[in-house]
Chains A and B, each alone.
Chain A
Amino acid sequence: NAGVTQTPKFQVLKTGQSMTLQCAQDMNHNSMYWYRQDPGMGLRLIYYSASEGTTDKGEVPNGYNVSRLNKREFSLRLESAAPSQTSVYFCASLHSVWQETQYFGPGTRLLVL
């Protein structure tokens, strides 16, 4: 039982390049979330998927898109990376919206030059 896994662990992009951050969970959780973490800002929600087949914007969705590929996988795509998207990205999952414990992956560190 690996919990929440994220790939890649670290990535360097040039401005304008695109990339997809992958997230998978093996806990049969229904809800999944993408956050970014910046110094002094805590974690800010980018997008979430309350259940398979649904996605919704969070607090800071601009410049990102998501895909809930199946119940296990939730990907985050940067179509045209900008230096402001340099951050640490965390994926989290939740068994159901009626429960409260979110389980986080180890994070992806992204540097946009």
Chain B
Amino acid sequence: TQLLEQSPQFLSIQEGENLTVYCNSSSVFSSLQWYRQEPGEGPVLLVTVVTGGEVKKLKRLTFQFGDARKDSSLHITAAQTGDTGLYLCAGAKSSGNTGKLIFGQGTTLQVKP
């Protein structure tokens, strides 16, 4: 059962374009994280959002956590070829305190020069 649905699963755009990746669930999460993964490497954390409605910016990347803490989005402004990679969202449940994360399927982003 995939509790976190990411869309789109694949995105191919030209350098300079804007894009948004969505991460949706029917479950409430205590926090939601976004990771970026390069080929042949493990995921690396980009940001964690904790509060409903929270917006965080990381240079050209803007992350938002839904008011109900069930969904999140990642917006990239003026994409660059260096943004190419796999983007993963992951949700943490508040119960159990195990540190477990539930991952979405991932969005493969290809930015063409």
Contact = CB atoms under 8 A, between A and B. Distances in A.
Nearest to A109: B40
Given A43-B88, A104-B43, A107-B41, A97 B99 contact: yes
A66 interface: no
B98 A50 contact: yes
Interface of B: 2, 4, 6, 9, 31, 33, 40-45, 48, 88, 90, 92, 97-101, 103-106
Contacts, number: 66
A98 to B, nearest CB: 7
B96 to A, nearest CB: 8
Given A97-B97, A106-B40, 7 more contacts: A40-B105, A41-B105, A43-B103, A48-B98, A96-B99, A104-B42, A107-B42
Contacts of A103: 45
B45 A101 contact: yes
Max count, chain A CB within 10 A of own CB: residue among B43, B48, B90, B92 = B43
